[in-house]
Amino acid sequence: MTSLAEETGAADRLLHSLRESQALLEGHFLLSSGRHAGRYVQCAKLLQHPELASNACKDLAAQAREVCGSDAPYDVVVGPAMGAVTMGFELARAMGVRGIFAERNPEGGFTLRRGFEINPGERVLVAEDVVTTGKSVKEVLVMLKEMGAGETAVASLVNRSGSENPFGENHRYFRLADLEVPSWEASDCPLCADGSVGPAIKPGSRPGLS
Ligand code: ZN
């Protein structure tokens, strides 16, 4: 089964941009959790380049319009801070709607500050750069329901959840690429066992330099 992003070439364009901006690294990495992985994804590295961010969000907006069969399927884009602040704003520009962000409550969940509002019945597209567990996005969806939002959907650049739609059938989920980022405990790491790729390094550090 091919996704719309694959059919339109949007998946290839995103992967090219991720590699070009070093947002997607291949090698042997030591993650902050202590686990080892053969890939590392950090979308902020792509999003620091306005043109790459703009192009990716235009592809995502085109997908949402095509799937929904409407030029204006959503009224506002909301992203959980910090990861989705830049991406959400760029997606809002591509959708031609306003873009706001939600902030984490000290007591749990997300809230709108800074005078941001969702009007009752507004159709909301929730933005996130990378969906891994989808936890932050799910918390924003709960916040939106409590605020009386209308239809809600989710859009991300990368889906690494391993699921077609971790948000359930009540929410459409748009994304440009599905990426697997398997990781292992150091003792089980096949790259360590292989030995030919060198020791695990922290992403962003250069092998041979300190
Ligand atoms: Zn390893």
pLDDT tens digits, residue range 135-164? 999 999 999 999 999 999 999 999 999 999
Q: Which residue has the tokens 């239809």?
A: 151
Using the mean position of ligand 1's atoms as its centre, give its distance from the Cα of residue 189 in Å.
4
> What is residue 106's DSSP assignment?
T
Specify whether the CB–CB gap between 125 and 76 falls below 8 A.
yes
Quickly count: other Cβ atoms within 10 Å of residue 118's Cβ.
21
Using the mean position of ligand 1's atoms as its centre, give its distance from the Cα of residue 207 in Å.
14
Q: Name the nearest CA neighbour of 130 among 93, 111, 155.
A: 155
Using the mean position of ligand 1's atoms as its centre, give its distance from the Cα of residue 54 in Å.
35
Specify whether the CB–CB gap between 76 and 98 falls below 8 A.
yes
- Sheet with 98-104, side-by-side order of all strands: 110-111, 98-104, 76-80, 124-131, 152-159, 173-178
Using the mean position of ligand 1's atoms as its centre, give its distance from the Cα of residue 55 in Å.
35
Pairing of strands 24-30, 36-41: antiparallel
Using the mean position of ligand 1's atoms as its centre, give its distance from the Cα of residue 191 in Å.
5
Domain ranges of the chain: 4-194
Using the mean position of ligand 1's atoms as its centre, give its distance from the Cα of residue 168 in Å.
34
Using the mean position of ligand 1's atoms as its centre, give its distance from the Cα of residue 198 in Å.
9
> What is residue 186's DSSP assignment?
G
Using the mean position of ligand 1's atoms as its centre, give its distance from the Cα of residue 160 in Å.
20
The confidence score (pLDDT) of residue 8 equals 83
The confidence score (pLDDT) of residue 195 equals 82
Cα separation, 24 vs 175, in Å, equals: 16
Using the mean position of ligand 1's atoms as its centre, give its distance from the Cα of residue 193 in Å.
7
Instruction: Tell me, letter by letter, the H, E, C secondary structure of the chain.
Output: CCCHHHHCCHHHHHHHHHHHCCCEEEEEEECCCCCEEEEEECCHHHHCCHHHHHHHHHHHHHHHHHHHCCCCCCCEEEEECCHHHHHHHHHHHHHCCEEEEEEECCCCCEECCCCCCCCCCCCEEEEEEEECCCHHHHHHHHHHHHCCCCCEEEEEEEECCCCCCCCCCCCCEEEEEECCCCEECHHHCHHHHHCCCCCCECCCCCCCCC
Using the mean position of ligand 1's atoms as its centre, give its distance from the Cα of residue 190 in Å.
6
Ranges of residues in the chain whose predicted pLDDT is under 50? 208-210
The confidence score (pLDDT) of residue 59 equals 97
Q: Which residue has the tokens 């059938």?
A: 169
CATH architecture of 4-194: 3-Layer(aba) Sandwich (3.40)
Using the mean position of ligand 1's atoms as its centre, give its distance from the Cα of residue 177 in Å.
25
Using the mean position of ligand 1's atoms as its centre, give its distance from the Cα of residue 41 in Å.
17
Using the mean position of ligand 1's atoms as its centre, give its distance from the Cα of residue 184 in Å.
8
The confidence score (pLDDT) of residue 208 equals 45
The confidence score (pLDDT) of residue 2 equals 72
